């Protein structure tokens, strides 16, 4: 018999129950007990829906109230002193580690840990500091708790933890730690904690444990053979069979040491990297290792071609036997929405293409059923649906395809080099030294959301809606003038989301109503789905930017989302390369940039926060990606005259390793997140230099904490040491839409004051 498995499941809960409960707790509207009760109900629902779908190996312990890497640090008692000394409850300490905590009445003001992207996804992990003196002990045995919780409900699960090597590879090295210290040096101290947890699980009756080691799909993973061997020997001594999982890429040469580990199962991502199967079969053939085939994508939302997957699985079965093959998802399903069943606005045809987490569980089970020699209705229907989708894919927009084919090298470059453009822009924009600006969005108040929702439902006329938005834009512009900012923005009130907003106005996209995917903590996004060729029927933002400019004499910055970010934050189609999809988007945006400039908007920001996250995990794959990604940005921004100042914005990632490519974008001004990463970027600037204007974020907008004027001055002083003062721009590290007005006003007033001081003193 062939078994089925899932590696992890969305945390969101039906009706976004998790988000709602967590935020209600933060707002003081429900108690900790209420929150825990809600969380328990969500965990039950998750297990039951996987069980009902027919999944054999159901994960437990990967649910979290914020982030599961943060859970590990907290559970292992790695809690920096700045959190423990605040007198907060354990739960509040945990949340403070994820999102900071400021309570002026109690004199508490503690910044969050650094956040980082999880592999090449838009999910963010919280990276707690580790130093040579870090000690581990079990603060909370979450794996055991949740295993037993499921068991009490009559559901046998497979507990999940990050493997210790991936855990230590993902957490942060403390800034104060000696240069030669590596977080992996802590492995010997960490192993006993893992052994203790595995022993407790075995004692509680668990049949096996899933240890996630996705670090094995990176180049660094290939260097870790000895460490894996010694570590897993010790873990295996706990006596609980271990399934080691990888995801998001290929294990490459590491298969040579993986086959020698004392593990019961090995999981590979065969959706992303189908070619690694042959080598894996060959490697494990003479061992007892069960191969877990990650065939059903945990990253996209397309129905799996079950017939094709069947053929692949049969290869493995022929070599290893049915008992040594498990059908699985390629990664945790946390990157997919919960279910297509709640979507009422998609057509039957569109729905027939799609499969979200619940449906993927059914696919995993159906494939395992068929491979076990039994009938599956779902499998039959799948064959028909896949054939229909292939039919649809043959319909393309030839005008769009022709335009992509006709892209010339000249279309990828501005008229003149930066120094020449700069003079033209200075004459036009007349900005002071240390110009102040923001990244685009301003607080999205309840009124704005209500107005947008009402308009969506037809409860506001076009005119009423436009008036509501204009009023908001006017008040945001007035505020910026009052607080003294130099380069203004319209505030993006009309945007539900920086990608969805554009997708809705382009051809080739479809949208779910409830397809929420976790981005970080309680923040969920609804990625649009690209289903066919992309083009721009009419201007998308000109109307709002023009209005904003009409109510101010200060220059206005237009605001667009870049082609690579739209692509990376959407679910791309699977039948056309990402490069082609990105170029189609770039051409659409190029028209928008030109239209904005023609409407006299002479500063235009094209945000590319997701450019880093799309970077392949293997260095040998970088060039191909970076070439089309950089070209796409340049294609979208190079249609304008010298006097239009092109901005771009980067956040959420460590940009150190691709900084030279950011330079190649040739934006006149970039803003880049630098506040959270402890100014790590300074070293990068110092090393690579940057020839155009740059605004490293002076404070962290992901936390409600208000930065003091002094703090911002200190940052500017630090930046001015590595970047020529006349290239420095002063801005927060990202958009302000998640913030409330109160802290926004205070923070920006401090920012403007610090910039004024810098003009005099730096
Ligand atoms: C995640 S980057 C966000 C950029 C966007 N312009 C904003 O301010 O919201
Ligand atoms: Zn940002």
Whole-number Å distance between alpha carbons of 422 and 693: 9
pLDDT tens profile 698-707: 999 988 889 9
Domain definitions of the chain by residue range: 3-393, 418-761
Whole-number Å distance between alpha carbons of 495 and 543: 13
Give bridge partners of residue 326 from the DSSP assignment: 3, 292
737 alpha carbon, closest ligand: 1
CA distances to 410, 563, 640, 641 from 415, in Å: 9, 21, 8, 7
Q: Which two tokens stand for residue 720?
A: 């001015």
φ, ψ of residue 86 to 5 degrees: the values are -90, -10
Share of the chain above pLDDT 70, in %: 99
pLDDT tens profile 206-250: 999 999 999 999 999 999 999 999 999 999 999 999 999 999 999
Give the mutation target among 122, 124, 438, 440 for probing the ligand 1 site: most ligand atoms within 8 A of CB. Answer: 440
Give bridge partners of residue 670 from the DSSP assignment: 648, 694
Residue 677: pLDDT band by 50, 70, 90 thresholds? low
Give the three-class secondary structure for 579. helix
Whole-number Å distance between alpha carbons of 752 and 488: 13
Whole-number Å distance between alpha carbons of 754 and 746: 12
Phi-psi region of 561 (alpha: psi -120 to 50; beta: other; left: phi over 0): beta
CB 404 within 8 A of CB 587: yes
Q: Which ligand 1 atom lies nearest to the CA of residue 440?
A: 8
Find out whether the beta carbon of 701 lies less than 6 Å from any atom of ligand 1: no
H/E run at residue 114 = strand 114-117
607 alpha carbon, closest ligand: 1
CB 541 within 8 A of CB 474: no
265-273: average pLDDT: 97
**Using CA positions, which residue lies closest to atom 6 of ligand 1?**
440
List 101, 124, 267, 702, catalytic entry:
702
* DSSP per position, 386-441: HHHHHHHHT---HHHHHHHHT--GGGGS-SS-HHHHHHHHHHHH---SS-BB--SB
List the Cα angle 614/615/618 in 5-degree steps. 135
Find out whether the beta carbon of 649 lies less than 6 Å from any atom of ligand 1: yes
Find out whether the beta carbon of 439 lies less than 6 Å from any atom of ligand 1: yes
* DSSP per position, 654-687: --GGGHHHHHHT--SEEEE--TTTTTTHHHHHHH
Binding-site residues for 5-methyltetrahydropteroyltri-L-glutamate = 19, 122, 569
**Using CA positions, which residue lies closest to atom 7 of ligand 1?**
735
Q: Which two tokens stand for residue 332?
A: 């945790």
Q: Which two tokens stand for residue 531?
A: 């289903």
Whole-number Å distance between alpha carbons of 518 and 565: 17
Find out whether the beta carbon of 609 lies less than 6 Å from any atom of ligand 1: yes
In 3D space, the residue among 579, 660, 573, 665 whose CA is nearest the CA of residue 614 turns out to be 579
pLDDT tens profile 70-101: 999 999 999 999 999 999 999 999 999 999 99
Burial class (CB within 10 angstroms; exposed 0-12, middle 13-18, buried 19+) of 73 = buried
CA 549 to ligand 1 centroid distance, Å: 19
Residue 357's pLDDT is what? Answer: 98
The CA dihedral of 754, 758, 759, 762, to the nearest 10 degrees, is 180
Binding-site residues = 19, 122, 439-441, 492, 569, 607, 649, 651, 673, 734
| Number of helical (H) and strand (E) elements in the chain, helices listed first | 28, 23
Whole-number Å distance between alpha carbons of 388 and 258: 40
Residue 230 has what DSSP assignment? H
Model ipTM value: 0.99
Find out whether the beta carbon of 739 lies less than 6 Å from any atom of ligand 1: no
Whole-number Å distance between alpha carbons of 385 and 391: 10
- Within 8 A by CB and 6+ apart from 141, the residues are 75, 197, 200
Whole-number Å distance between alpha carbons of 117 and 613: 7
CA 650 to ligand 2 centroid distance, Å: 6
Residue 613 has pLDDT above 90, yes or no: no
105-122: average pLDDT: 91
Centre a 10 Å sphere on the Cβ of residue 349 and count the other Cβ atoms it contains: 12
H/E run at residue 603 = strand 603-607
Instruction: Please compute, for residue 204, the number of CA atoms within 13 A of its CA located in the half-sphere on the CB side.
Output: 24
Centre a 10 Å sphere on the Cβ of residue 415 and count the other Cβ atoms it contains: 13
Whole-number Å distance between alpha carbons of 319 and 291: 11
**Using CA positions, which residue lies closest to atom 4 of ligand 1?**
735
CB 741 within 8 A of CB 445: yes
Which protein residues have their CB within 5 A of the ion that is ligand 2?
Answer: 609, 651, 734
Helices marked H in 267-376:
276-284, 306-320, 348-351, 357-371
φ, ψ of residue 160 to 5 degrees: the values are -125, 135
Residue 689's pLDDT is what? Answer: 85
**Using CA positions, which residue lies closest to atom 9 of ligand 1?**
735
Give the three-class secondary structure for 180. coil
Give the three-class secondary structure for 643. coil
pLDDT tens profile 27-73: 999 999 999 999 999 999 999 999 999 999 999 999 999 999 999 99
Q: Which ligand 1 atom lies nearest to the CA of residue 559?
A: 6
- Would 3-393 and 418-761 be classified into the same CATH topology? yes
φ, ψ of residue 102 to 5 degrees: the values are -130, 120
H/E run at residue 19 = helix 17-26
pLDDT tens profile 114-160: 998 899 998 999 999 999 999 999 999 999 999 999 999 999 999 99
pLDDT tens profile 151-205: 999 999 999 999 999 999 999 999 999 999 999 999 999 999 999 999 999 999 9
325-334: average pLDDT: 98
CA 524 to ligand 1 centroid distance, Å: 15
Residue 223 has what DSSP assignment? G
Residue 686 has pLDDT above 90, yes or no: no
CATH topology of domain 3-393: TIM Barrel (3.20.20)
Q: Which two tokens stand for residue 211?
A: 């240890």
Find out whether the beta carbon of 607 lies less than 6 Å from any atom of ligand 1: yes
655 alpha carbon, closest ligand: 2
Q: Which long-range contacts (CB under 8 A, 24 or more apart) does 469-474 make?
A: 469/493, 469/494, 469/544, 470/547, 472/447, 472/448, 473/544, 473/547, 473/548, 473/551, 474/551
Share of the chain above pLDDT 90, in %: 93
Whole-number Å distance between alpha carbons of 714 and 487: 22
CA 218 to ligand 1 centroid distance, Å: 29
CB 294 within 8 A of CB 247: yes
Find out whether the beta carbon of 735 lies less than 6 Å from any atom of ligand 1: yes
Binding-site residues for L-methionine = 439-441, 492, 607
Whole-number Å distance between alpha carbons of 537 and 505: 8
pLDDT tens profile 490-545: 999 999 889 999 999 999 999 999 999 999 999 999 999 999 999 999 999 999 99
Q: Which ligand 1 atom lies nearest to the CA of residue 438?
A: 8
Query: How confident is the prediction for the chain on average, in pLDDT?
Result: 96
Centre a 10 Å sphere on the Cβ of residue 169 and count the other Cβ atoms it contains: 20
Whole-number Å distance between alpha carbons of 414 and 438: 25
Give bridge partners of residue 257 from the DSSP assignment: none
Whole-number Å distance between alpha carbons of 9 and 53: 13
CB 718 within 8 A of CB 754: no
**Using CA positions, which residue lies closest to atom 1 of ligand 1?**
609
- Within 8 A by CB and 6+ apart from 193, the residues are 76, 136, 137, 138
H/E run at residue 530 = strand 529-530
Binding-site residues for Zn(2+) = 649, 651, 673, 734
pLDDT tens profile 430-439: 999 999 999 9
Residue 678 has pLDDT above 70, yes or no: no
CA distances to 344, 351, 502, 531 from 510, in Å: 13, 11, 12, 7
**Looking at the domain covering 418-761, what would its CATH class be?**
alpha beta
Handedness of CA 709, 715, 719, 720 (dihedral sign): positive
Q: Please indicate whether residue 702 is annotated as part of the active site.
A: yes
Q: Which ligand 1 atom lies nearest to the CA of residue 561?
A: 6
């Amino acid at each position: 018999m062939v078994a089925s498995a899932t590696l992890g499941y969305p945390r969101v809960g039906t009706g976004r129950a998790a988000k709602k409960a967590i935020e209600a707790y933060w707002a003081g509207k429900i108690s900790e007990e209420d929150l825990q009760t809600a969380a328990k109900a969500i965990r039950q629902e998750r297990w039951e829906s996987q069980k009902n779908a027919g999944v054999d190996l159901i994960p437990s312990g990967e649910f979290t109230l914020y982030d599961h890497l943060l859970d590990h640090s907290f559970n292992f008692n790695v809690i920096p002193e700045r959190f423990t000394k605040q007198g907060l409850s354990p739960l509040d300490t945990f949340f403070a580690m994820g999102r900071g905590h400021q309570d002026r009445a109690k004199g508490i003001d503690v910044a969050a840990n650094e956040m980082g992207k999880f592999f090449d996804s838009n999910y963010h992990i919280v990276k707690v500091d580790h130093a040579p003196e870090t000690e581990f002990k079990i603060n909370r045995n979450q794996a055991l708790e949740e295993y037993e919780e499921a068991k009490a409900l009559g559901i046998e699960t497979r507990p999940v933890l990050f493997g210790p090597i991936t855990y230590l590879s993902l957490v942060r090295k403390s800034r104060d730690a000696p240069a030669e210290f590596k977080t992996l040096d802590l492995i010997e101290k960490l192993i006993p904690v893992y052994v203790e947890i595995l022993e407790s699980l075995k004692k509680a009756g668990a049949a096996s444990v899933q240890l996630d080691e996705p670090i094995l799909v990176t180049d660094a993973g290939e260097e870790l053979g000895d460490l894996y061997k010694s570590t897993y020997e010790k873990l295996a001594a706990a006596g609980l069979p271990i399934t080691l999982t990888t995801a998001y890429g290929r294990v490459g040469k590491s298969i040579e040491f993986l086959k020698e580990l004392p593990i019961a199962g090995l999981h590979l991502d065969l959706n992303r990297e189908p070619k690694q199967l042959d080598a894996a079969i060959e490697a494990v053939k003479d061992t007892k290792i069960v191969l877990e085939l990650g065939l059903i994508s945990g990253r996209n939302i397309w129905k799996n071609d079950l017939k094709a997957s069947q053929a692949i699985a049969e290869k493995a079965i022929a070599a290893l036997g049915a008992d040594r093959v498990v059908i699985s998802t390629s990664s945790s399903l946390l990157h997919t929405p919960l279910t297509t069943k709640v979507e009422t606005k998609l057509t039957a045809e569109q729905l027939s293409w799609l499969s979200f987490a619940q449906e993927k569980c059914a696919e995993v089970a159906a494939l395992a059923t068929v491979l076990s020699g039994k009938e599956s209705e779902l499998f039959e229907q799948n064959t028909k649906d896949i054939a229909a989708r292939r039919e649809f894919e043959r319909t393309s927009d030839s005008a769009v395809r022709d335009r992509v084919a006709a892209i010339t090298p000249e279309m990828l470059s501005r008229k003149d080099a930066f120094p020449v453009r700069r003079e033209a822009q200075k004459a036009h924009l007349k900005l002071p030294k240390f110009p102040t600006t923001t990244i685009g969005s301003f607080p999205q108040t309840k009124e704005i959301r209500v107005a947008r929702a009402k308009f969506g439902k037809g409860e506001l006329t076009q005119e009423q809606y436009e008036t509501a938005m204009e009023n908001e834009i006017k008040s945001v512009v007035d505020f910026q003038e009052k607080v003294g900012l130099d380069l203004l923005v319209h505030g993006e009130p009309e945007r539900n989301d920086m990608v969805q907003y554009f997708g809705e106005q382009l051809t080739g996209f479809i949208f779910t109503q409830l397809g929420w995917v976790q981005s970080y903590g309680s923040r969920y996004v609804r990625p649009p789905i690209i289903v066919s060729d992309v083009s721009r029927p009419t201007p998308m933002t000109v109307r709002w930017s023009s209005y904003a400019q009409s109510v101010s004499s200060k220059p206005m910055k237009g605001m667009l989302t870049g082609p690579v970010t739209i692509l990376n934050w959407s679910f791309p189609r699977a039948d056309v390369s990402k490069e082609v999809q990105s170029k189609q988007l770039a051409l659409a945006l190029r028209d928008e940039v030109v239209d904005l400039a023609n409407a006299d908007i002479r500063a235009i920001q094209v945000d590319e926060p997701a450019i880093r996250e799309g970077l392949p995990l293997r260095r040998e794959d970088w060039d191909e990606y970076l070439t089309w990604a950089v070209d796409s940005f340049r294609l979208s921004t190079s249609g304008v005259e010298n006097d239009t100042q092109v901005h771009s914005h980067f956040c959420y990632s460590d940009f150190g390793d691709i900084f030279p490519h950011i330079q190649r974008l040739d934006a006149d001004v970039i803003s880049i997140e630098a506040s959270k990463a402890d100014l790590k970027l300074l070293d990068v600037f110092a090393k690579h230099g940057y020839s155009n204007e740059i605004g490293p974020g002076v404070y962290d907008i992901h936390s409600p904490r208000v930065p003091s004027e002094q703090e911002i001055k200190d940052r500017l002083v630090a930046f001015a040491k590595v970047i020529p003062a006349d290239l420095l721009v002063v801005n927060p590290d990202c958009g302000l839409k998640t913030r409330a007005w109160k802290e926004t006003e205070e923070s920006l007033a401090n920012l403007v004051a610090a910039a004024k001081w810098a003009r005099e003193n730096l």
